[in-house]
Structure 1
């Protein structure tokens, strides 16, 4: 077995249990040392399931057999605990979004840069090969000059008591679901997007947004509209409309590892469906993080600086959506 990045997991969340921890244990370049929870019993359950040690938060950060920490805590806790991870000398993989404010994300970037550590956001869909296919088709001019992007990520109401309904923990559909089509627009149109209008539907009893839409425009004049919410039938897709055709991708953000994406191309007198290879985006995200750590890359590397700038820009756009909202 070659070199490995030894992970600790700070928080026993559902996404950690179902998706990210299995990816850590399956990835040849990573191993799982310990999981931590405020509830010792919960940590013990996770540790027994995944064959690792159970710990408290501070105990996990003090371990010398942990190289990197994955943090799937509620978004409002990302900055305080992310800073403590970095101060402990551990590389940091944060569940998305990075923070509830752009300044919080900037603070994390500054800390990772100062400590010469790697900082990444676990936006797993960015590691699925289907989006590279879309980008290639755009670059080849398959749909002519790009005119607009439309993305949506919506799903039915969450159970009462879900933390995404708690404003103090960074709840709301914009931070949970809206960041997906926003980040996809950044990926395909660039970080020079600006918000020109938005609307949010707020649940007055809970104090969080439960649905919304926003209109953005890129520096080259490409329109982008994003839809998100907790009040819909499930939908996870985006489309790109050009001067000669349109590309549509369904299940764009959360496909299962075995799912073979179907990319549809519609032109004036021709329609085509391309069945793309299945891909494991959680495993891809973990593997890319480990590869960077083992290569000695940190937040000071030019490519990581660019990735951190995009991470900051995502939260800046979230803030702009809130400011512009009707």
Structure 2
């Protein structure tokens, strides 16, 4: 019988729940990361949001399908101490680093790149979480903190030793002063045993608020591709063939949940202890992954069809010159 998520069976969820997966969501504004929602009954998720008002709002919500949900009002950085949160008009752009005015000159989006207030906040490192929050390890680490990614990673050597998969939003542009760019983060993690396995949610920016590829509008410059600005990067820890069974089993399950079924099987074949762990918990993991692959494929196909239908309307409007637009806030 498939669980409510329609991807994993109850057997898989029950086995995973014997030693729940730990997810740390650094930058939980809006809602905690839902990448492992299909495993929610077996997941303890801890969200971090330094904005006191947003942290309070998130903490007041029900835990929903998650086994455990906690929200902590801390900023995670390189070390313990007071820090400053630079908040623009659009608060999702809040950062521990000062905003770069050059982004306004180039792209014209003041809502994301002009600080309107500064909030003093309490900062911790990843490795402080054991003593301050009782968090001893992490299986899936998500970082979306608008620029201070390397500070977080450099302050978490002990915690990173347990991480199986890391998701980091990285920028190709210096949106905040002194922030590391995507290439630096990729190299840093590669040197410490994490391989880049996927890039998603790729954003291209054209001067705001003009639309980018493939739309054409009634402006002086009707069409242009945008410059690549940021994306989500996924990294997998390199597991040795003799890695502990629980580590292999957890990595396999996370990979499957985020859609990398082939890679999950490759990890299992390379690390036999993973299949042994699943057998000990009464699960034929290869059969389960085959079933999950089919369920996930159907789900993704439905989502793709729906997206194509929704996207057809603006494309048709653009073809006939009916797509509404506003002139850029900052002219060329």
Query: Under a length normalisation based on structure 1, what TM-score does the superposition of the two structures give?
Result: 0.34
Q: Which structure has more RCO (C-alpha within 8 Å, separation ≥ 6)?
A: 1
Whichever structure has more strand as a proportion of its residues is: 1
